Chain A
Amino acid sequence: MTQSRFLRSARIAAAGLAMGVLVLTGCSATASKPAAGAENASAFLTIPREDMGTFIQNFNPFAPAVNPMVQQSIYESLLIFNPAKGDTVPWLATEWTSAADGKSVTFTLREGVKWSDGKPFVADDVAYTFELQKKIKGGFDYLEAVTAEGTNKVTFTFNKPWSPALYDVGQLTILPKHIWSALADPEKDANAKPVGTGPYTEVDNFQAQSFVLKKNPNYWQPEKQKIAGIKMLAFAGNDGANLAAANGDVDWAPQYIPNIEKTFISKDKEHRQYWFPATGSMINWQLNTTKAPFTDTAVRKALSMAVDRDQVTKIGMGGYAKPADCTGLSGNYETWKNPALKDNCTWTKRNVDEANKLLDQAGYPKGADGKRTLKDGKPFEFKISVGATSSDWLSVANVISQNLADVGVTAKVDSPDWAAVVAGYETGDFDSGIVWSANDPSPHKYFNTSMGTATVKPVGTKTFDNYHRFGDPKADALLAQFAAEADAGKQKDIAYKLQEEYNDVAPLVPLFSGPEWGAFNDTRFTGWPTEDNPYATLSVRAPTTVLVLTTLEPRK
C-alpha cells in the first residue's frame, strides 16, 4: 500500500483521538497479531456480507437474523440438495429410505463424524435438534416423532403420507445435544463459541466489522479443509461490498453487482467470473383474485399475454433473469417440467392481438379513447404495488404498466415503503403486486401456495403465502396425491398434471426465474462452481455453500 508522508502525519494527529474509543468499546490491551500473510495457503477466504452493517457475537441458529455461515459452515444437515444440477448429495447421512406408505423416512448416519469438541455425532443429536426446533420455532406440523435407533439410525414418522418431508427434515442443520440440552434458555443463548460438525467452526478475532472462522479440529473430512479459514466482512449495503469486490479485496462476491461485466469482470478478466443460474424463486406478478376483474381466468391470461417478458428481464433485471413459461416453475425445478407443456405455452408469451381478443370476448370492451372498461362500466384501472427500495422490481412494474397500455388497460405503479406494501398483501387489501414465491427442492410447496385451497385465507385475515388468495379443488386432489407418493417417477407424473392444471387456471402471472447472484475472484483460491461444473451455486446462504467451502483450495 502506498502511504504518503501526509498520511503519516495525519495518523499522528488523529491517534490521540482514537485513544478514547478504546475505553468506550471496552477493548483490552492485548498484543497485536500480524495480519494474514500474502501466502495463499495461510490466507482466509474473504466474503462480504452486504446486509449487516455490524456483526454481533451471536451464533445461535434460532436467531431470526442468523450470523453468516452459521448454517453453512458451523452446523451441517443430513443431506444437501443442489438446485444447479438437480441432484442430492448425502452429507451427515449416507443413505435414507422412505416407507412404502409414505408415512416415515429412515436416515442412516455417517460413521466417524465428530463435533468440533471431539464428542461423537449420534442419532440422539438429530432427534433432539427436531424437538428443539419444533419447540422454539414451530413448523414441521406433519412430524409426529423422531426416533433414534441405536447411534446411527433415525426414523422420522409423519401423521400423514408426506413425501416433501425428505428435503424439509433432511436440510435442517443438526445441533449437538450435549451442548444445547445443558442450556437453560437455548433460544436466548448467544452461543458465542459454537460447537458444530462443519468444516470451519472456530470463531476468531470477533469484531463488529469482521470475524474469522478457523478450521474445525475434528472435521470428518479433513482432506477437504484446504483453506486456513473464512473471514466475513460487514457492509451496510451493496455499494460498499461492490467496491470491495471491484478492488479485489474479497474472494467471493455473492451480492447483486450492477453492470457486472464493466464494474467487476473487466478489472481482471483472467481471474474474475460470474454465474447467475436461474435457480432463485419464481418472481410472479400476482393479481388479487378476490377482486373483479381478476376473478376471471380469461382476464388473468390476457393480462399475462400483454406482458413482454423479454423486456421485463432485460430492463428490470439487467438481462440476468430468465423469462417464465406456463409451467410456473422456476429454473430450480428444471427436471420437473412437463416438456409437452413447456414447449407449447400460449399465455406466457407476448401476443397483443390475442390478449385484445380475449378481453373483448370476456366482456371488457375497448372505448373510443382506446381504454377498456369493466363490466360495470368503470374504467379498467388498478395498481401494481412494489416496495420503494426495490429498484429492479420497480422497473419491472413500470415495464408491465407500459405493456398493458397496449391492450387498453391502465396500471398505476404504487411504491410506498415495503412494510406498507406487504401489510396490504397480508390482509388482502391490494390490487396486484410483484412477489417472490416458495422455493423448495420439491415443487409441492410452490403449487400448494399458488393454488391450494389450504393456503387461502379470507380477506382481512392475515396470510403469509397465498397473498393472491387463489384456491382450486382440482389442484388440491393432485397435491394430496403428490404428497402421498413415495415413488419418484410417479411423483413426476403428478407434477406434470399439476402443471397442466396451473396452465388451465393461471393462478398467478409468472414473470421470471430469480437469478442466484454470485461472482468470484480466483487469484487466491481455485475450484469454484461454474456453469460447466455446477456442483453448487455461488450463493453464500444456500445449503450448497458448504460444498464450495470443502472444494476450494489455495492457488499454488
Chain B
Amino acid sequence: MRFILRRLGFYLIAFWASITLNFLLPRFMPGDPVSRMFARSTGRMQPEQIEALRKLLGVDDRPIWEQYVDYLHSIVTGQMGVSISRFPTPVTEVIASQIGWTLLLGGTALVIAAVVGNLLGILAAWRRGGAIDSALPPVLVFIGSFPYFWLAMGALYLFGVVLGWFPLRHAFTDGLEPGFTWEFISDAAAHLVLPALTIVLVSIGGWMLGMRNTMIATNAEDYITMAEAKGLRPGRIMFRYAARNAMLPSVTSFGMGLGFVVGGALLTEVVFAYPGVGYQLLNAVQGLDYPLMQGLFLTITAAVLLANFLVDILYVRLDPRVRSN
C-alpha cells in the first residue's frame, strides 16, 4: 500500500510538470492564433476583422501568470473552454466526437501487434535457429524500417485501388447510419483492416525481437533446466516458467503503448482519412489553438500516466522484487 501511495505522489508531480509544459510550449511559439488564422486564410480574411476576432476568441494579452492560474483552474474544474480553430465548438465536444475512432484503431493495432509479436518472440526463442527465428526477424525489421507514410500509401494502393479488397477511406461507408447492426459493424470492421494492419506491420517487429531476446536470457536460467529435468511438458515450461518471467519488459511497453494510443496515429489517419484526433492535434498545433491543444495534451498525459499506474500495480503482482523494495 505504501508503495502505491508513493507512486501516486510521483504521478501527481509528473502530472503537474507535464501540464505546465503543455501551457508553456505553445506560448513560446511565434505569433498568436488570430494572426495565424489570418495568414492561413491567404487573403480571404479582412485585416479589419482581426481585433474583433481576437476579442471574440478570447485571445488575451493578460500577464502569463494570470493565464496560468486560469489554466490550472480550468483543468481542476474540467472546463477546457472553446476550441479556437473549431470555434465555437467546446474542446470536450471536438475530442469526444472523434476519440472513439482513434481508440478503436490504435487499440486494435496495439493489441494485435503485442499479442502476435510476443507469441512469435516466444516461439522464436524457444526454437532458436528454427524457421521462425531465422526468417521472420529480418523480414519484420525490414518492413518496420520503411517510412510509415510510404508503406501505408503502398498498402492502400495495392489492396484498395488495384485489388479492391478494402475500402479506400473513412471509418465506415459514407451514408450509412451508425448503429448496432450487423451491416454497420461489419462495414466498420472492413474499414479498420487496412489501417490497423499497416500499424501492426511496422510495430510487430519490435515486440517480437524484444520478447525473443528476453526469452533467450530466461531460457538459460537454472530453473528452466530444473523444470526440464523434472520432465514437465515443454508447453508448460515455455509459457509458465519462461514466458511469464520474460514478459515484464513487454508489459511495460504495452502500458506505454496504451497511453499513446490516445494521441492517435496521425499518419494513419491522414493516409486513410480515418476520422480521429491525430490530425486534429496537428491542426491545433499549427493553428495555435491553445484550448484544443491543451485538451488533447491533457487527455494524452492523463492516459499515459494512468496506463503507467496500472502497469505499476500489475508489476506488484507479477514481480515480487518490487514488493520488497
Bound complex: CA A420 to CA B30 (Å): 6
Determine whether B193 belongs to the interface, using a CB cutoff of 8 Å to chain A.
yes
Q: Is the CB of B186 within 8 A of A56?
A: no
Indicate whether A210 sits within 8 Å of B35 (C-beta atoms), given known contacts A24-B99, A58-B89, A137-B49: no
Mask for B275-302, Cβ within 8 A of A = 1, else 0? Answer: 1100110010010100000000000000
Residue A99 at the chain B interface, CB threshold 8 Å: no
Q: How far is the CA of A17 from the CA of B30 in the complex (A)?
A: 42
A352 to chain B minimum Cβ distance, whole angstroms, is: 32
Known: A13-B189, A422-B35. A32 touches B56 (CB 8 A): no
Contact residues in B for A182 (Cβ distance below 8 Å): none
In the complex, residue of chain B having the shortest beta-carbon distance to the beta carbon of A420: B30
Closest to B153 in A: A239
Measured between alpha carbons, how far is A554 from B31 in the docked complex, in Å?
47
Partner of B53, one of A27, A64, A207: A64
Q: Which residues from chain B contact A210 at a C-beta distance below 8 Å?
A: 170, 174-175
Q: Which residue of B lies closest to A463 (CB)?
A: B47
Is there contact, CB below 8 Å, between A209 and B39? Answer: no
A324 to chain B, nearest CB (A): 16
Q: Would A32 and B170 count as touching, CB distance under 8 A?
A: no
Task: Let me know if A64 and B84 touch, CB within 8 A.
Answer: yes
A21 touching B100 in the complex, CB below 8 Å, given contacts A32-B181, A65-B85, A207-B178: yes
State whether the Cβ of B97 lies closer than 8 Å to any Cβ in chain A: yes
Q: Of B42, B47, B97, B288, which one neighbours A208 at CB under 8 angstroms?
A: B97
B93 in contact (CB, < 8 A): yes
B167 to chain A, nearest CB (A): 8
Q: Is the interface of B mostly helix, strand, loop or mixed?
A: helix
Report whether A423 and B35 are in contact in the complex, using a CB–CB cutoff of 8 Å: yes
Minimum Cβ distance to chain A for residue B91 (Å): 11
Residue of B nearest to A1 (CB): B164
Query: Are A53 and B189 in touch, CB under 8 angstroms?
Result: no
Interface residues of A in 221-249 (CB under 8 A from B): 231, 233-237, 239-240, 243-244, 247, 249
Residue A187 contacts which of B35, B56, B180, B273 (CB distance < 8 angstroms)?
B56
Residue pair B52, A137 in contact (C-beta under 8 Å): yes
Closest residue of chain A to B29 (Cβ to Cβ) is A419
Min distance, Cβ B263 to any Cβ of chain A, angstroms: 14
B189 near A141 with CB under 8 A, answer: no
Neighbour of B269 across the interface among A10, A28, A53, A62, CB < 8 A: A53
Given A14-B108, A188-B88, A205-B175, residue A138 in contact with residue B53 (CB < 8 A): yes
A233 to B170, CA, bound (A): 9
Q: Which residues of B contact A64 (CB under 8 A)?
A: 37, 53, 57, 84-85, 87
A30 contact from B93, B179, B269, Cβ within 8 A: B179
CB contact under 8 A between A60 and B88, given known A17-B104, A22-B180, A436-B43: yes
CB distance from A517 to the nearest CB of B (A): 13
CB contact list, A8-33 vs B, under 8 A: 10-15, 17-33
A interface residue count range (under 10 / 10 to 19 / 20 to 34 / 35 or more): 35 or more
Complex interface: chain A residues within 8 A of B193 (CB)? 7, 10, 14
Partner of B280 from A19, A53, A237, A436 at Cβ < 8 Å:
A53
A462 to B31, CA, bound (A): 10
CB neighbours (8 Å) of A465 from chain B are: 47
Chain B CB within 8 A of A3 CB = yes
A104 within 8 A of B: no
Q: Check if A374 is an interface residue, CB within 8 A of chain B.
A: no
Residues from chain B with Cβ under 8 Å of A138 in the complex:
48-53
Q: Are B168's CB and A29's CB within 8 A?
A: no
B183 near A: Cβ within 8 Å?
A: yes
| Cβ-based interface call for A281 (8 A) | yes
Complex: A209 Cα to B192 Cα, angstroms: 14
Known contacts: A53-B279, A141-B48, A462-B35. The answer to whether A65 contacts B177 by CB under 8 A is: no
* Contact in complex: A240, B169 (CB < 8 Å): yes
* B190 A29 Cβ-Cβ under 8 A: no
Q: Is B116 an interface residue (CB 8 A)?
A: no
Chain A 280-294 interface residues, beta-carbon cutoff 8 Å to B: 281
If the complex has contacts A139-B49, A240-B273, are A25 and B178 also in contact, measured as CB distance less than 8 A? yes
Distance in angstroms from A493 CB to nearest chain B CB is 27
Inter-subunit contact A24/B270 (CB<8 Å) = no
B294-317 interface with A by 8 A CB criterion: none
Q: Is A439 an interface residue (CB 8 A)?
A: yes
Whether A18 contacts B166 in the complex (CB less than 8 A), given A29-B180, A281-B43, comes out as no
Within 169-226 of B, Cβ neighbours of A (below 8 Å) are at 169-190, 192-193, 196
Q: Given A139-B46, A419-B288, A423-B30, A65 and B86 touching (CB < 8 A)?
A: yes
Chain A 457-479 near chain B by CB (<8 Å), digits 1 or 0: 00000111100000000000000
17 A-B pairs with CB atoms under 8 Å apart are A11-B190, A12-B189, A22-B180, A24-B100, A30-B178, A31-B181, A32-B176, A32-B183, A35-B175, A137-B49, A137-B56, A140-B48, A210-B175, A239-B153, A418-B39, A423-B30, A464-B50
Known: A187-B56, A420-B30, A426-B35. 20 other contacts (CB 8 A): A17-B104, A19-B180, A24-B103, A26-B100, A30-B178, A53-B283, A54-B279, A56-B86, A58-B89, A60-B88, A64-B57, A65-B86, A138-B53, A209-B169, A231-B175, A239-B270, A239-B271, A281-B42, A420-B31, A436-B43
